[in-house]
């Protein structure tokens, strides 16, 4: 996997990521982090994950764009949601 598709809400391989849809390239550490979060059974486990400031910033950008695309959340609401996750 190399690119996150905002349209499909998931990761695409290099071959599939060459289409016309909007994608963002993600580093392997961020892909692993997102996969871990998807697999945990409790919110507490996800919240205890240690991330660098750079990782949080990149995840906030990607997830913010994803939420804006699918939930049409304005930036203020998105920032509040991401702030809660960062605690």
- Over the chain, what HEC string results? CCEEECCCCEEECCCHHHCCCCEEECCHHHHHHHHHHHHCCCHHHHHCCCCCHHHHHHHHHHHHHHHHHHHCCCHHHHHHHHHHHHC
Instruction: Please give the pLDDT value at position 34.
Output: 83
- How confident is the model over 59-83, as a mean pLDDT? 74
Res. 2: pLDDT tops 70: yes
Instruction: Please give the pLDDT value at position 73.
Output: 57
Q: What is the pLDDT of residues 3-56, one digit of tens each?
A: 888 777 788 887 887 777 788 888 888 888 888 888 888 888 878 888 899 998
């Amino acid at each position: 996997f190399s690119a996150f598709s905002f349209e499909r809400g998931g990761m695409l391989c290099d071959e599939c990521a060459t289409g016309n849809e909007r994608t963002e390239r993600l580093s392997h550490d961020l892909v692993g982090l997102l996969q871990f979060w998807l697999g945990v059974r409790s919110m507490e486990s996800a919240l205890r994950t240690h991330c660098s400031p750079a990782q949080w910033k990149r995840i906030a950008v990607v997830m913010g764009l994803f939420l804006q695309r699918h939930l049409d959340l304005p930036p203020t609401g998105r920032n509040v949601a991401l702030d809660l996750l960062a605690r």
